[in-house]
Amino acid sequence: MPLTLSYVPTSYGLVCLVCRRSSPATPTVCPVHSSPPFNAPAARRLRAALGMAPGHVAYGLRAQYGLLVAPETVMAWERGEISPSSTELTALAGVLWCSPGELLAEPVTLREHRIARGLSPEDLARRVGVEPNAYQKMEDAGRWKGNERQSAALTLVLGLSLAQFVAATGKEEELAELLRSAVTTRWQAYGKPLSKLLPIPRPHLERVLERLHGEYQSRMVATLSWGGGEGSAARGDAGREFLAGIVDRFWALAGGAA
């Protein structure tokens, strides 16, 4: 069955059908291809600051960018009822004399960060040293596969913190799994795989892993003295609590969360 290439409107904005086979039972919001997280109050505030009415915005979109957008649609954007497409968002930023990023809520995906910077896929691919087709495939899949140099360039061009890099490149769960394994077994075995995942100097990374391992083991040892079934339950609760928050604790020790 061929992949469909279309969008359907929902209360969340435009929903991508690229990721699903044709004849779906229930459309779902795609985290990679859905509309950017539009900041409706910011759009309304910026328009008002320029002394423009929705009709003026609609006229600008048509005259400057050739987009046939009705004033009612502009008002619906500002009420948060629907979201503009990425093309409409870029044009709207031009009409409102702002950057696309000012019209977005906090970006998460690679696509959202790219749009927030006002870059086309081709521009970003060129800046980070990746073939445009290869970059587009990675963005569509929500999985970054660039090498260390390309990853560093991506972080620089998009202004990503390390935590944002991990989220945008689809590596959050992989990071969490590696960290959980590192603290519950031998942390020394996880320096290499984590250094491939994160653009962090390995000596610093290994110091952080050793610290995390020590904190986890200390917490588990502290509950051993409780004894009996109560002590066993306490150890289980303490361990689960630590592992549940291990990524946040990792960023607190390693830096790069902001």
pLDDT in tens, 64-105: 999 999 999 999 999 989 999 889 999 999 999 999 889 988
Say whether both 118 and 156 belong to one domain: yes
Domain termination residue (choose one: 142, 168, 194): 168
pTM comes to 0.64
Say whether both 121 and 66 belong to one domain: no
Look over the chain and give the mean of its residue pLDDT values, rounded to a whole number. 83
Say whether both 10 and 44 belong to one domain: no
Question: Could you tell me the two tokens for 61?
Answer: 């979109």
Say whether both 199 and 250 belong to one domain: yes
| Continuous H helices in 160-201 | 162-168, 172-184, 191-197
Say whether both 26 and 44 belong to one domain: no
Residues paired with 243 in a beta bridge:
none
Say whether both 162 and 176 belong to one domain: no
Say whether both 149 and 219 belong to one domain: no
pLDDT of residue 148: 81
Element (H, E) at 10: strand 7-10
Question: Which residues are CB-contacts of 116 (< 8 A; sequence separation ≥ 6)?
Answer: 36, 99, 100, 101, 104, 107
Say whether both 11 and 55 belong to one domain: no
Question: Could you tell me the two tokens for 186?
Answer: 């031998």
Say whether both 176 and 164 belong to one domain: no
Domain termination residue (choose one: 103, 121, 152): 103
Query: Would you say residue 7 has pLDDT above 60?
Result: no
Parallel, antiparallel or unpaired: strands 13-16 and 7-10 = antiparallel
CATH of the domain at 85: 1.10.260.40
Say whether both 116 and 52 belong to one domain: no
Q: How confident is the model at residue 40 (pLDDT cuts 50, 70, 90)?
A: very high
The Cα 70–Cα 68 span in angstroms is 7
Query: Would you say residue 25 has pLDDT above 50?
Result: no
pLDDT of residue 221: 80
Query: Would you say residue 34 has pLDDT above 60?
Result: no
Say whether both 70 and 46 belong to one domain: yes
90 three-state secondary structure: helix
Q: What is the pLDDT of residues 206-240, one digit of tens each?
A: 999 999 999 999 888 876 665 555 555 555 677 88
Contacts 24+ apart (CB under 8 A), 195-203: 197/166, 197/171, 198/162, 198/165, 198/166, 199/148, 199/151, 199/152, 199/155, 199/162, 199/165, 200/162, 200/254, 200/256
Say whether both 196 and 241 belong to one domain: yes
Residues paired with 38 in a beta bridge:
104
The structural domain count of the chain equals 4
Q: Running DSSP on this structure, what letter comes out for residue 62?
A: H
Q: 40, 34, 43, 39: which is closest to 9 by C-alpha?
A: 34
Q: Which domain holds residue 187?
A: 172-254
Q: Is the C-alpha dihedral spanning 52, 54, 59, 62 positive or negative?
A: positive
Domain termination residue (choose one: 76, 103, 130): 103
